[in-house]
Amino acid sequence: MQKKALICGVSGQDGAYLAELLLNKGYIVCGTSRDAQMSSFYNLVRLGICDQIKLASVALTDFRSVLQVLTKIQPDEVYNLAGQSSVGLSFDQPVETLESIATGTLNLLEAIRFIGAPIKLYNAGSSECFGNTGEQPADENTPFRPRSPYGVAKATAFWEVANYREAYGLFACSGILYNHESPLRPERFVTQKIISAACRIAQGTDNHLYLGNLSVRRDWGWAPEYVNAMYLMLQQEQPDDYVIATGETSKLEDFVAQAFACVGLDWQEYVTTDSSLLRPTDIAVGRGNPAKAKEKLGWQAQYIMKDVVRMMIEEKQKDYL
């Protein structure tokens, strides 16, 4: 019997790469967005897999809508990658962020419990839940102290998953993922903003890049690797939560320098700090400890920040050929 997977948020970066991975493993893949008839599913088209995926509309904040799609599709596995995905935007849209993430996750859990079928659920957690941990790498036992509405919403969803797993015996996992990038990132994410600006400046179509706090430090990985960790979590005998990270941390300034170096430029000649781009609160250092994922899942990141930058630059430069 072919396994059937439902990916909520299939049109995003992670959803598209996960869909590609599962198709390659022989899954029947179904994907949702809020309005499947109006969505362009650009990332699925870009990967050349859109016509291989069964698409459906669902509003995760509407319990009836969630129940309908689960009953109709009858998936073996559900991957919850939906919801407002920008930390910066969450300060402007805190209510939408909380509802789309926390209420959406709760509706999935409750619908799975209501149906009573042995559906396995993966929930997209976030390192933003940890807040500032200083130089100490965060693992699965590190307390949550989120510093953004996005982090608060993700922390809420994490504990919903843990509660349903313990109270009702659901096979439900959260992956606490650190930053992971790819060419599918939109430009509202600072990493793609940097990559795109470096390529434009190198081509002579732009001459400057404005950024916020360059001293923040993050653990950057490669998105196609991280979706494999999601898949592996649902293949285990027992459900559990895992930190997914490279274990290496770099300054945003280092990311910028690497991107400009890849196109033969000195970043300091083109980059200016703009205080209007600073967030009300931010995480100074993001550092993850992925030891449990390596031990239990056999998962380990193969690409670190410099590799991620190089691969993103190489893909973006194709736009100028």
CA distances to 2, 70, 118 from 75, rounded to whole Å, are: 11, 7, 9
Beta-carbon neighbour count of residue 3 at 10 Å? Answer: 15
Q: Is 226 a catalytic residue?
A: no
Count CA atoms closer than 13 A to 35's CA, side-chain side.
4
**Active-site residue among 128, 160, 181, 225?**
128
| Contact predicate 142/133, CB 8 Å | yes
Beta-carbon neighbour count of residue 185 at 10 Å? Answer: 20
**Active-site residue among 126, 148, 174, 182?**
126
β-bridge partners, 214: none
Q: Is 295 a catalytic residue?
A: no
Single-letter residue type at 203: Q
Q: Is 160 a catalytic residue?
A: no
Q: How far is it, in rounded angstroms, from Cα 320 to Cα 266? A: 20
8-state DSSP, 36: T
Give every CB contact of residue 317 below 8 A, 6+ residues apart in sequence: 199, 263
Taking the CA atoms of 132, 138, 143 and 147 in sequence, report the sign of the dihedral they define. Answer: positive
Tokens of 189: 């994410």
**Active-site residue among 17, 27, 150, 303?**
150
Residues serving a catalytic function are 126, 128, 150
